[in-house]
A = this chain, B = another copy of it.
């Protein structure tokens, strides 16, 4: 049951990585610049970026010797849909909802 959803949520489950994503809202950044505000090694930040890349939350493109990190916010979409749909489901009367589903999916 390893889906993208697994990786997206897991990637978001770390404050350092959420902070990186927030930084990338402003602009694309080189790995070294991403690492600058953190009190950890460059290699550690590089690993965080790999996890974000694997989850599809960022992309990395090498130009010259610099690797640029770019936010890919649509990767969050599936997670948003899950979490938001969850909220909507919760508000529903489940029995009525099942009837609705049967009607809707039976053709």
Give the distance in Å from the alpha carbon of A28 to the alpha carbon of B10 in the complex.
Answer: 26
Report A1-33 CB contacts with B as 1/0, cut-off 8 Å.
111011111111111101101100111000000
Please tell me if the beta carbons of B94 and A26 are within 8 angstroms of each other in the complex. yes
Q: Does A44 contact B (CB under 8 A)?
A: no
Please tell me if the beta carbons of B97 and A88 are within 8 angstroms of each other in the complex. yes
- Given the known interface contacts A1-B15, A1-B16, the answer about A80 and B71 at a Cβ–Cβ threshold of 8 Å is no
Give the distance in Å from the alpha carbon of A77 to the alpha carbon of B96 in the complex.
Answer: 10
Please tell me if the beta carbons of A89 and B80 are within 8 angstroms of each other in the complex. yes
Q: For A100, list chain B residues within 8 Å (CB).
A: 81-82, 85
Instruction: Report which of B10, B76, B86, B104 forms a contact with A83, defined as CB distance below 8 A.
Output: B76
